[in-house]
A = this chain, B = another copy of it.
Amino acid sequence: MGNGRTGAPPRAAVVGTGLIGGSVLLRLRQAGLDVAAWDPDPATRALARDRGLTSPDGIEQAVADRDVVFLCGPLPTLTATLTQVAAIARPDCVLTDVGSTKRAVATFAVAHGLADRFVPGHPMAGTERAGLASASPDLFTGAAWVLCPDPAGIGRFRTLAALLLEVFRARVVPMDPVAHDRVVALSSHVPHLLAGGLAGAVDASPVRDAVLSLAAGSFRDGTRVAGTPAPRTANMLLDNRDEVLGQLDAVRAALDELATALRRDDRAALVAGYERAATARAALAAGRSRPVRADFPLDADPAGEVAWLCELGAAGGHLTGCRVTGGVVGYDGLCPA
């Protein structure tokens, strides 16, 4: 990716510099890019400047004349910020976000004529901490980073995918926004509900202090994300409500199966249930993959390119390369074997 007009490295901006935006910012700077930061909180802007980062007081100064802008504010502010930044940024600027749901913002972008400029994104990384002070330039290394390709903005998708691969060393996962929301409901949002239910039950328990005293690995692991700032978790769940409730039903059904086997003293069924669970867990650690490759002429209808990309992501694959040469875009990827 380059500055379209000069061939120089892209000039970037990050709007909203909490944990995720701050980590994007630090990584872009570490990679040597010219990057400007803006946050609505003056203290956060001052902290950024203390760290030697460019952080003007006005959002206009931060995003005007930039090649790519990462929108990293809280989920409820996202559509307003997108509208505001789209009005300030150059028409050829790539706009993207890092929100934990994608259907709502993608629908908004289409409805407001921004689908050609905005590429919905979601890096699958984070911690239970918050704020620029907790940010790290390495947060996304090796992490999945979902991007939602749209035929109207396929050029921006390619540019951004190349940047994420090169600068962030992320696994870029192309995915349809609706598929994304279903998948993260199960991979992230329902786990947050389980952690909240477990930690909440302990807080209300007559044996609370003894439970905390005996808490070992399974409890510490199972409740870690319950320490996430509560408003952040609430925003995420509410924005994906229907998918989360649907996937929670699926998890409850699996839990009921285990509980029924336990109630009936059915050791064989319990062992079989845990063996299935261990299969999924083992696949997480050591999934084999095969390389995939596809080329698309830049002057073809991008519908085929978008379909191939979304199928790759839905199959559990990700991109490892994206290169435009001689009127053709070539994608390299890995897919579960």
Contacts and interface: CB of A to CB of B under 8 A. Distances in A.
B197 A234 contact: no
Given A210-B313, A222-B221, A314-B210, A250 B205 contact: yes
A193 B318 CA distance: 31
A245 interface: yes
A216 interface: yes
Closest 5 A/B residue pairs (Cβ): A209-B316, A197-B255, A230-B274, A199-B277, A203-B280
Interface in A131-148: 143-144, 146
Interface string A177-197: 001001110111011111111
Nearest to A203: B280
B221 A224 contact: yes
Contacts of A278: 199, 226-230
Contact of A226 (B212, B253, B280): B280
Interface in A236-272: 237-238, 241, 244-245, 247-248, 250-255, 257-259, 262-263, 265, 267, 270-272
Interface string A278-303: 11111111010000000000000000
A243 B229 CA distance: 31
A51 to B, nearest CB: 25
Given A187-B212, A208-B316, A218-B225, 14 more contacts: A179-B207, A193-B255, A196-B273, A198-B277, A199-B280, A200-B280, A201-B255, A202-B280, A204-B254, A213-B313, A226-B274, A229-B278, A233-B274, A238-B262
